[in-house]
Amino acid sequence: MNLTPNVAEVRQVEERKTGKRSTREWQQMDAAHHLHPFSDAASLNAQGCRVITHADGVYLWDSEGNKIFDAMSGLWCVNIGYGRKELAEVAYQQMLELPFYNTFFKTTHPPVVELSALLAEVAPEGFNHVFYTNSGSEGNDTVIRMVRHYWASLGQPSKKTIISRINGYHGSTIGGASLGGMSYMHEQGDLPIPGIVHIEQPYWYANGGDLTPEEYGLKAARELEKKILELGVENVAAFIGEPVQGAGGIIIPPSTYWPEIQRICDQYGILLVADEVICGFGRTGHWFGSQYFGIRPHLMTIAKGLSSGYQPIGGVLVHDQVAKVLAESGDFNHGFTYSGHPVAAAVAAENIRILKRERIIEKMREDVMPYAHKLWHDAFDNHPLVDDVRTLGFFFAVTLVEDKASRKRYANGGELALRCRDICFANNLVMRATGDSMISAPPLTMTRAEADEFVAKAKACVDQLARELGRL
Ligand SMILES: *Cc1c(COP(=O)(O)O)cnc(C)c1O
């Protein structure tokens, strides 16, 4: 069975629609009409965008015919890899059958029902309900409204404040960006909104000082306890965190962190929200990051890997404890036109069926994951330019450092990482620079041979930067 799309066929269809344009033309039209997310328009347009035209497996192709290793799975989402024809077929069939209907007014449709039941099956014990959105940001906006509605329904309307973390990422809507702890996002538009406060992130390498990672993990978690006591528990609704911080730079918390957070949430009776937008659907080698860390959340935000990025869809998985209260508290005045969109739901359901049927997560965890971890550590553990070499599931990261013994970072580390990312681009490897870290999250379907290629390329790029800096 040939599951990969016929690339030549796809290209023909594309050219029939648009005529055959040159890269330069695409770039000029893009510069003239398209505002990019998280980009400096002037410098982007001066340089010209890279134009990605098609993809298959772990590879992208650009309009110049370059074959590029996508070690970021798009934006942490194409967990299943590119080019799965089944997903295209499911979308096509669903569009013919029922391209849209809403789920607002006493109505449902088969794809959203099937997806909801599948999610209850793969989610941890007690998660039997889901509220749909189009994105992770909207999922987290939903979390804000849902936890406040929950407490109000229980007669505790003062429990409104949500505690999150500096350098956490929870999306880019006003709510999502407020929950997030990115100061450069807060600066634009007077964020965070009231009722959201931030505590320290569990980033031992940066903040741990002389403490062991385990000691520091407890200290960072106890910031939550301090904050709850400072605000008054009668005012605190929830704590939200990513099991592993993704956009913040693949920050893996010390082993003591999540158990202590769990203890504190339990002791004070506040809701625990796991933002599983990146960690969910296999990234950690388990269906959910909460399972990897043994976290027992009340809500889990999902998006990205839910559909492997083939359709925009997100949502909030709701634990029975919360669902029970919501079920008895009248209207929840919240929702989106496209909540549970039939095409997106059908594609997400098929994505989950493929993950299950092909045991993609289990196979990755048992085989390529440990293999690739070893490759990564062999490549970087003794590298002169990098430290804090980290792997977890299909997360891979290193930090560029000036001196390993003293954990001394470069003052211009961010600049150097961007330089390294450009070297990666020039060598047809997509990795991301976050602060002074080089990070990556390849598709879960990466083979051993592809892992060899990925790590060899990543090392060659870091080597090149090290040579340019006279460190190699
Ligand atoms: C990407 C991301 C979001 C936001 O999702 P969007 O679909 O971009 O709105 C939220 N939380 C986490 C952890 C993310 O990585």
Q: Quick one: average pLDDT of 374-384?
A: 98
State whether residue 128 is helix, strand or coil: strand
CB of 137 closer than 6 angstroms to any ligand 1 atom: yes
CB of 243 closer than 6 angstroms to any ligand 1 atom: no
pLDDT band at 161 (very low <50, low <70, confident <90, very high): very high
Beta-sheet strands, E only, within 57-165 = 59-62, 67-70, 127-133, 161-165
> For residue 18, is pLDDT > 60?
no
Predicted local distance difference test score (pLDDT) of residue 1? 40
Q: Count other Cβ atoms within 10 Å, centred on residue 232.
A: 11
Torsion, Cα of 353, 357, 362, 364 (10° steps): -90
Residue 222 has which token pair? Answer: 């106890």
Q: CA nearest 336: which of 193, 145, 122?
A: 145
Q: Count other Cβ atoms within 10 Å, centred on residue 109.
A: 19
Measured CA to CA, the distance from residue 92 to residue 411 in angstroms comes to 51
CB of 278 closer than 6 angstroms to any ligand 1 atom: yes
> Residue written as tokens 């070297």?
423
Cα diameter, the chain: 67
Residue 90 has which token pair? Answer: 């499911």
Separation of CA 378 and ligand 1 centre (Å)? 31
Instruction: Report cis status (omega within 30 of 0) of the bond before 99.
Output: no
Instruction: Looking at the CA of residue 304, tell me the nearest atom of ligand 1.
Output: 7
> For residue 2, is pLDDT > 60?
no
Number of H helices, E strands in the chain: 19, 16
Separation of CA 352 and ligand 1 centre (Å)? 19
Torsion, Cα of 124, 127, 133, 137 (10° steps): -60
Separation of CA 342 and ligand 1 centre (Å)? 21
CB of 169 closer than 6 angstroms to any ligand 1 atom: yes
CB of 439 closer than 6 angstroms to any ligand 1 atom: no
> Do the Cβ atoms of 274 and 121 come closer than 8 Å?
no
> Residue written as tokens 């359901």?
349
pLDDT band at 15 (very low <50, low <70, confident <90, very high): low
Instruction: Looking at the CA of residue 275, tell me the nearest atom of ligand 1.
Output: 13
CB of 242 closer than 6 angstroms to any ligand 1 atom: yes
The rounded Cα 207 to chain-centroid distance in angstroms is 23
Residue 417 has which token pair? Answer: 């990482």
Predicted local distance difference test score (pLDDT) of residue 302? 98
CB of 314 closer than 6 angstroms to any ligand 1 atom: yes
What is the pairing mode between strands 429-430 and 52-56?
Answer: unpaired
CB of 247 closer than 6 angstroms to any ligand 1 atom: yes
CA distances from 195 to 178, 183, 191, 232, 272 (A): 9, 17, 11, 13, 16
Decide: residue 267, CB within 10 A, 0-12 exposed, 13-18 middle, 19+ buried.
exposed
> For residue 332, is pLDDT > 80?
yes
Instruction: Looking at the CA of residue 312, tell me the nearest atom of ligand 1.
Output: 7
Residue 393 has which token pair? Answer: 């599931």
Domains identified in the chain and CATH numbers: 50-83+360-468 (3.90.1150.10), 85-357 (3.40.640.10)
Taken in order 444, 316, 83, 250, is the CA torsion positive or negative? negative
Q: CA nearest 201: which of 250, 234, 237?
A: 250
Best residue for ligand 1 mutational test, from 304, 336, 434, 439 (most atoms within 8 Å of Cβ):
304
End-to-end CA distance of the chain: 48
pLDDT tens digits for range 415-455:
999 999 999 999 999 999 999 999 999 999 999 999 999 99
pLDDT tens digits for range 75-94:
999 999 999 999 999 999 99
> For residue 193, is pLDDT > 80?
yes
Separation of CA 316 and ligand 1 centre (Å)? 12
Sheet holding 127-133, edge to edge: 127-133, 314-319, 299-302, 271-275, 236-241, 161-165, 196-199
Average pLDDT, the chain: 96
> For residue 10, is pLDDT > 80?
no
CB of 74 closer than 6 angstroms to any ligand 1 atom: no
Measured CA to CA, the distance from residue 123 to residue 116 in angstroms comes to 10
Separation of CA 247 and ligand 1 centre (Å)? 9
Best residue for ligand 1 mutational test, from 36, 38, 167, 169 (most atoms within 8 Å of Cβ):
169
CB of 303 closer than 6 angstroms to any ligand 1 atom: yes
Instruction: Looking at the CA of residue 138, tell me the nearest atom of ligand 1.
Output: 9
> For residue 11, is pLDDT > 70?
no
> Residue written as tokens 């388990």?
286
The rounded Cα 374 to chain-centroid distance in angstroms is 23
CB of 83 closer than 6 angstroms to any ligand 1 atom: no
Q: Quick one: average pLDDT of 351-357?
A: 98
Looking at residue 449, its amino acid is A
Separation of CA 169 and ligand 1 centre (Å)? 7
Measured CA to CA, the distance from residue 290 to residue 306 in angstroms comes to 15
Residues with Cβ within 8 Å of 214's Cβ and at least 6 positions away in sequence, in order, are: 254, 255, 256
Predicted local distance difference test score (pLDDT) of residue 352? 98
CB of 181 closer than 6 angstroms to any ligand 1 atom: no
Residue 242 has which token pair? Answer: 């990513």
pLDDT tens digits for range 99-154:
999 999 999 999 999 999 999 999 999 999 999 999 999 999 999 999 999 999 99
Q: Quick one: average pLDDT of 34-56?
A: 94
CA angle 339, 321, 226 (to 5 degrees): 100
